[in-house]
Structure 1
Amino acid sequence: MSEPREHVPEYRWVLPSVLLGDGDGRRPVRRSTRDWIVDIVMFLAACLLALLGATELDGEPDGLVLAEQVTGALSCAAVWLRRRWPVTLALVSAAMSSYLELVGGASVVGLFTVAVHRPFKISGPVAAFNIVALVPLGVLRPDPSLGPGGMVVLGVAIVATAFAWGIVVRARRQLVWSLRQRAVIAAEDAKRLERERIAREMHDVLAHRISMLSLHAGALEFRPDAPAEDIARAASAIRDNAHLALQDLREVIGVLRHASSAGGDGPVPDPPQPTLADLRSLVEECRQAGMKVSYTAQLTPEAEDVDTVVPTAASGIAEGDVPQGLGRTVYRVVQEALTNARKHAPDAPVTVTVRGGPGEGLTAEVRNPRWAHHGRRIPGAGAGLIGLTERVELAGGTLAYGPEPDGDFRLRAWLPWSP
């Protein structure tokens, strides 16, 4: 189940433009050390371009030279505002550079800033305005060596270079931002899946133990006049299952504490997990609790035909040879089925069958008659079969359960077994 969007940390939905360090004009922009270095480089670049343009002022009227010097100095100083008002800086400097040469450095820096910090729908028109602003300068104040056409071509080349460079920088920043967001999402998904896995383990283990406690306690309540030997045996079973439940709970809490202390980083150690070989011990435990359980394992090697199923001992495949992950899933399926049988039909006989082999897959089937139970039912949240379905599907298998025409309730799980 995916996490609701409103519960996801807000930074996952922040727009890339904000993460690129843009200001909105309403609050000061906090510059990092890298930002200061970049801003100093941009300021020096604007000053250098202004100084190069100053060499072309020989022979110009004194008033125009003074205006060029004042506007050039102010435009270079305005470069420090490029993070807060990049579009304004680019448009104003471009408009002034249509006649004044020393503003050209600030105009180039402003265009580069807009290309980095704004999408193309904003930066594109700004670049086009910069190109249009080159025409009056080339016509009204042409360079003697280049002429009007040469000045326009040179200006277009400078504008295109600054704009292309800004687009490349923006694309790289967006790529880095995207990779970081994917890493954050992957980490959150990993934590969520780990929490769900631990929750399933708690349900599977504790539900089994507590149902055993309830079964023995119900027997004592139903037969208070039972022989002292039977009462002592039931009390011993209650004590043993209570101790096992506490032990299982300590293991799960230990896993949770490790995950919390590690901050969600690194692998989380699993408590000892059951395998298919432990299924016989589970069945025997249920028998000692008073359940009528029959268990059959029919495992066939890959070369055997599916129709010629033979018992495990003769097939050459032992229950311990089943892959651990596959055996653990089958164990949890049978464990949950037996727990449900104790809840809803505690006196009904239960048949457990495990069959299959490499290539064919492993099938676990649990059947029991749907007998009416008039005693006090063991409470449940109704999430056991839902969690079991998720567990089986995560393993690549299928799970089906429900009443049969003959009156039995059947739970059948199939899991793939790679040869």
Structure 2
Amino acid sequence: MSGNESPSERSTPSVLSAPLARSPWALPSALAAQFDPDRMPGKNKRRPRRTMRDWLVDFACFFVAVGIGLVGADAVSGNPHVSQGFAEVDQVLGALACAAVWLRRRWPVGLAIAMVPISVLSDTAGGAAVVALFTLAVHRPFRYVGWIGGVSIAVLPLTYWLRPDVDVPFLVAVVLGTLLSAGVIGWGMFVRSRRQLLLSLRDRAIRAENEAALRAEQAQRLARESIAREMHDVLAHRLTLLSVHAGALEFRPDAPRQEIVRAAGVIRESAHEALQDLREVIGVLRGGSSGVDGEASGRPQPTLAALETLVAESRDAGMKVALDHRVADSAAVPAAVGRTAYRIAQEGLTNARKHAPGAEVTVLVSGAPGEGLTLSVRNPPPPGDVPNVPGSGQGLIGLTERAMLAGGRIEHGSAGDGGFRVDAWLPWDSPSGRADEAR
């Protein structure tokens, strides 16, 4: 198949097929080269080295050609219709044709074409002609086999007319020769189709391996993104509280003892919560869980009902937060939707605390089943100078991913008064709609 392989036959081999390529008995060289992991596309253009199987097949083909040639030479010698000189030419051509069988792998088309006129002139070359047809059918597409095989069969009547067989009638000889040529061509095409089937199975295995690797890589990437979102949303909030109260203690060392005690208590509690959250994430990573949003750690995940606690915690840290909660029953909000809304509000308050200290933050929550849940976090420009707080924007990226995974949308950017806004909408299906989906 060298020189006319299909694109699928030139694809990158799989390492799983390396044992087949290394076996000297398993495959012919043309096929083993396709399974060689070191033979990459576009490289190593030289012909593959013959395997032990190739040598055995080549010797077998040579002996078949010689055996059939001896039978033909004997028939020519005893044929009264053939002169002695013609018989000698017949035998010389037959010997040359048998020697040319060793070139069948390198030039299968050229050898088959050459055998067409030689087989007309020499019965001794009949075996070599048969081997050439078989090799052509194995190593070349059908367009070559159809033309050359058709011409070989078409000249059979001329062959038997020039040298009629004394024992077999002319018509019977032509029919037998046609059946023999067609059988040889069919056998060669069967061998070729079997090799192509093996290559297609190899390619399917490679594609399956690549798809499995891509799925595994995608799953790992999604898991990493989920862990990154959770760590940022949780730890950034806790660490911001730590930074605010530590900064207050730094710049007001003469504060009343009661305020110092309260700030130290918030720092201690925030550090404890941050450490606990970090332990959860590490535990999930070691346990091989697929994400960190579930309750595998045993701690309840926040929902919309915990939003008031979050606002109270921010107020205790010194923030001015106005909460407008217009959802009649927070417990009716689906847990996944409520958890996403909680994380969006948490990130909005964290950003406002870092980038607009002293500004009053407004948190608006509204919605109903069938309409969706709307959440808005807005803050005006800061009243004074804002210290340079480093930020990578990963929090907003994580919020966008959370909203998209929940089937919602989120917008964030500068507000008209120079402040900042985060507006999100999350789907909240009605009970009837969920029942219809369940049915």
Common topology (TM > 0.5):
yes
1:337 and 2:354 correspond: no
Which whole-Å CA distance do the structure 2 matches of 1:232 and 1:110 have between them?
A: 94
Residue aligning to 1:396: 407
Where does 1:137-176 land on structure 2 (aligned, <5 Å)?
A: 139=156, 144=173, 146=175, 149-176=178-205
Instruction: Tell me if 1:183 matches 2:212.
Output: yes
CA contact (8 A) 2:68 2:126 kept: no
Q: Which of the pair has more CA radius of gyration?
A: 2
Matches within 5 A, 1:209-220: 209-220=238-249
Displacement of 1:165 in angstroms is 3.8
Task: Give yes or no for contact 2:235–2:274 (8 Å, CA) kept in 1.
Answer: yes
What corresponds to 2:144 in structure 1?
Answer: 128
For this pair of structures, how many residues does the alignment match?
A: 359
- SS of 1:294's equivalent in the other structure is strand
Name whichever of 333-342 and 55-64 sits farther off.
Answer: 55-64
Output aligned runs, 1:291-310, within 5 Å.
291-299=319-327
Superposed counterparts of 1:176-325, under 5 Å = 176-259=205-288, 267=290, 270=294, 271=297, 272=299, 273-299=301-327, 312=328, 318-325=329-336
In 2, Cα distance between equivalents of 1:33 and 1:187? 36
| Cα deviation digits, residues 15-36 of structure 1 (max 9, x gap) | 625339999xxxx942399769
| Deviation for aligned residue 1:212 | 0.5
What's the counterpart of residue 88 of structure 1? 106
Aligned residue in 1 for 2:391: 380
Which residue in 1 is equivalent to 2:82?
Answer: none
Relative to the length of structure 1, the TM-score reads: 0.69
2:304, 2:331 within 8 Å by CA — same for their partners in 1?
Answer: yes
Please say if 1:352 is aligned against 2:330.
no
Q: CA deviation at 1:216?
A: 0.7
Q: Distance in 1 between matches of 2:303 and 2:144?
A: 69
Q: Is the alpha carbon distance of 1:109 and 1:394 closer, same or farther for their aligned partners in structure 2, counting shifts above 3 Å? A: farther
Does the CA-based 8 Å contact 1:399-1:414 persist in structure 2?
yes
Provide the residue aligned with 2:41 in structure 1.
none
Deviation at 1:291, TM superposition (A): 1.4
Preserved contact between residue 27 and residue 53 of structure 2 (Cα < 8 Å):
no
Identity %: 39
Q: Which moved more, 1:145-154 or 1:57-66?
A: 57-66
In structure 2, distance between residues paired with 1:198 and 1:217: 27
1:16 aligns with 2:32: no
Query: Quick check: 2:65–2:128 contact (8 Å CA) kept in 1?
Result: yes
Contact 1:134-1:152 within 8 A present in 2 as well: no
Distance change in 2, residues 1:337/1:108 (3 Å): farther
| Aligned AA (2:304) | L
Q: Tell me if the contact between 2:303 and 2:342 (Cα under 8 Å) persists in the aligned partners.
A: yes
Query: What letter matches 2:141 in structure 1?
Result: G
Is the alpha carbon distance of 1:158 and 1:253 closer, same or farther for their aligned partners in structure 2, counting shifts above 3 Å?
same
Q: Residues 191 and 93 of structure 1: is their aligned pair in 2 closer, same or farther, counting only changes over 3 Å?
A: farther
**Structure 1 unmatched runs, 5+:** 1-13, 79-85, 115-122, 260-265, 300-311, 313-317
**Which has the larger displacement, 287-296 or 53-62?**
53-62
TM-score, length basis structure 2: 0.67
Partners of 1:361 and 1:415 within 8 A in 2: yes
State the partner residue of 1:370: 381
Question: Separation in 2 of the partners of 1:389 and 1:277?
Answer: 22
C-alpha RMSD of matched pairs (Å): 4.3
Decide whether the 8 Å contact of 2:130 with 2:184 is kept in 1.
no
Distance in structure 2 (CA, Å) of the matches to 1:146 and 1:21: 48
Distance 2:159 2:283 in 1: 79
* Equivalent in 422, 426, 434 of residue 411 of structure 1: 422
Query: Secondary structure of 1:405's match?
Result: coil
Q: SS of the residue aligned with 2:302?
A: coil
User: Quick one: structure 1 residues 364 and 104, their matched pair in 2 at CA, closer, same or farther if it must change by over 3 Å?
Assistant: farther
Tell me which amino acid in the other structure corresponds to 1:346. Answer: P
Cα distance in 1 between the residues matched to 2:72 and 2:151 = 20
Q: Given that residues 105 and 135 in structure 2 are in contact (C-alpha distance below 8 angstroms), is that contact kept between their aligned partners in structure 1?
A: no
Residue pair 1:292, 1:347 contacting (<8 A) in 2 also: yes
Per-residue CA deviation, residues 47-106 of structure 1 (Å, 9 max, x unaligned), is: 99889888855742276899599769x86xx9xxxxxxx963856875787645268569
Distance, in Å, in 2 between the alignment partners of 1:19 and 1:231 is 67
Cα displacement (A) at 1:356: 1.3
Could you tell me how far apart the structure 2 residues matched to 1:60 and 1:141 are?
13
Q: d(CA) in 1 for partners of 2:214 and 2:207?
A: 10
Q: Where do 5+ consecutive residues of structure 2 fail to align? A: 1-8, 33-50, 75-90, 117-124, 161-171, 431-439
Q: Take 2:224 and 2:353, find their aligned partners in 1: how far apart are those partners?
A: 28
Partner residue in 2 for 1:101 = 127
**CA-to-aligned-CA distance 1:308-333 (integer Å, 9 cap, x gap):** xxxx1xxxxx3233222212211111
Counterpart code for 2:127: E
Q: Which residue of 2 aligns with 1:4?
A: none
Give the superposition deviation at 1:284. Answer: 1.6
Distance 1:198 1:68, change over 3 A: farther
Q: Provide the residue aligned with 1:31 in structure 2.
A: 23
Deviation at 1:395, TM superposition (A): 2.3
* SS at 1:88 equivalent: coil
